[in-house]
């Protein structure tokens, strides 16, 4: 694991999302799978992009986008679970990973906002 836990966890989560999507075999799920794929992998992409932000404001903005994407991911995970596209264990495991990332994002945003420019 690298020195940046948030980067590592978000990449691990993106891998979990890709694997989850590849395992869904229920027909007519493509629209939900597409939304879940976009939101779930966008979290890590925005966190990665934040590492190269042009300013503190840009850094915070990227983390806040990742936070919004984590919220959207939770929505799609719950919908996939409630419509029986994914099983209970998959749902709770993936949602727990997403929740851990969300908590780290909230803390990182608060820290970045409180630090002097």
CATH classification at residue 45:
1.20.1440.60
Question: Alpha carbon 113 to chain centroid distance?
Answer: 21
pLDDT at 2 > cutoff 90: no
Give me the pLDDT at residue 115, please. 84
Say what the pLDDT of residue 116 is: 80
Check residue 28 and give its pLDDT.
87
**Over the range 9-48, which residues count as b (16 or more CB within 10 Å of their CB) and which as e?**
bbbebbebbeebbeebeeeebeebbebbbebbbbbbbbbb
Domain limits at 9?
5-114
Q: What is the pLDDT of residue 117?
A: 67
Q: What pLDDT does residue 68 have?
A: 98
How much of the chain, in percent, has pLDDT values that exceed 70?
A: 97
Average pLDDT of every residue of the chain: 94
Measured distance CA(48)–CA(29) in Å, rounded: 29
Which of left, alpha, beta for 86 (phi over 0: left; psi -120 to 50: alpha)? beta
From the CB of residue 4, how many other CB atoms can be counted at a distance below 10 Å?
A: 13
More confident residue, 53 or 3: 53
Residue 17 clears pLDDT 90, i.e. is over it: yes
Q: How many domains does the chain have?
A: 1
pLDDT tens for 23-71 read 998 888 899 999 999 999 999 999 999 999 999 999 999 999 999 999 9
């Amino acid at each position: 694991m690298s020195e940046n836990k948030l980067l590592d966890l978000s990449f691990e989560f993106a891998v979990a999302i890709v694997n989850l999507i590849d395992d869904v075999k229920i027909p007519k799920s493509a629209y939900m799978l597409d939304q879940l794929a976009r939101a779930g992998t966008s979290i890590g992409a925005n966190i990665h992009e934040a590492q190269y932000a042009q300013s503190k404001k840009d850094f915070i903005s990227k983390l806040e986008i990742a936070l919004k994407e984590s919220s959207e991911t939770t929505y799609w995970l719950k919908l996939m679970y409630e419509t029986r596209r994914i099983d209970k264990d998959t749902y709770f495991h993936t949602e727990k990973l997403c929740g851990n990332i969300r908590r780290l994002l909230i803390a990182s945003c608060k820290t970045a906002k409180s630090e002097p420019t």
